[in-house]
Amino acid sequence: MTLAARPKVPEADKWQLSPQLLQPSYLGMIAGGSVFRILEEKDMTMRGLVHKYFDTIHNYMPIMSKVKLNKQIQEVEGLNSKSAFMVLILAILLLNEHPPADFDGALGSSELYQVCKYHFSLFLSLKEPSIELIQTGLCITLYEYVHGIPERAYVTIGTCARMVSVLRLHSNANSAPQSALTEDYFDENAHVISAMHLLNRHICLSFTMLGKHLNSEYSPIIEAREPPMTSVMGRAVDALSREAEGCRILWRLQQIIHEDIPACGPGTSWPTQLDRVIALDTELQNMKLGFQDYNDDSAWRGDFAAYAVASLFMLNLVSQQEEILPVTECFGQRHMEILTSIEMLMKMVNSQLSEAVTTGYNADFLTPFSMTILALGANGLESISSMEMGEECKLNQKRVFTDLLRCLGARWRLGKEYLKIIDVV
Provide the 8-state DSSP code for 289: G
Backbone torsions φ then ψ of 345, nearest 5 degrees: -65, -40
Q: Is the pLDDT higher at 423 or at 253?
A: 253
Least confident among 4-13, 253-262, 313-322: 4-13
Please report, for the chain, the start and end positions of each structural domain, with discontinuous segments joined by +.
24-99+108-172+186-219, 238-257+272-424
Q: Give the mean model confidence (pLDDT) for residues 141-151.
A: 93
pLDDT of residue 372: 95
CA–CA gap between residue 75 and residue 190 (Å, rounded): 25
Q: Give the mean model confidence (pLDDT) for residues 8-28.
A: 69
CA neighbor of 92 nearest in space, from 150, 138, 27: 138
Dmax (CA) for the chain in angstroms is 83
The answer to whether the Cα torsion of 269, 271, 275, 278 is positive or negative is positive
Least confident among 41-55, 169-183, 228-242, 338-352: 169-183
Q: Is the pLDDT higher at 289 or at 202?
A: 202
pLDDT of residue 340: 85
pLDDT of residue 138: 98
Q: Is the pLDDT of residue 129 over 80?
A: yes
Residue 30 contacts residue 20 (beta carbons within 8 Å): no
Q: Is the pLDDT of residue 135 over 70?
A: yes
The answer to whether the Cα torsion of 181, 186, 188, 192 is positive or negative is positive
Q: Give the mean model confidence (pLDDT) for residues 363-379.
A: 92
pLDDT of residue 294: 66
| Those residues with Cβ within 8 angstroms of residue 349's Cβ, 6 or more apart along the chain or in another chain | 374, 400, 401, 404
pLDDT of residue 182: 46
Angle between the 83-96 and 46-55 helix axes, to the nearest 10 degrees? 60
Q: Other C-beta atoms within 10 Å of 5: how many?
A: 6
pLDDT of residue 237: 78
CA–CA gap between residue 233 and residue 165 (Å, rounded): 23
How far is Cα of residue 254 from the mean position of the Cα atoms in its chain?
18
User: Could you report the per-residue pLDDT of 192-214, keeping only the tens digit for each?
Assistant: 999 999 999 999 999 888 877 65
How far is Cα of residue 406 from the mean position of the Cα atoms in its chain?
18
User: Could you report the per-residue pLDDT of 293-302, keeping only the tens digit for each?
Assistant: 666 667 889 9
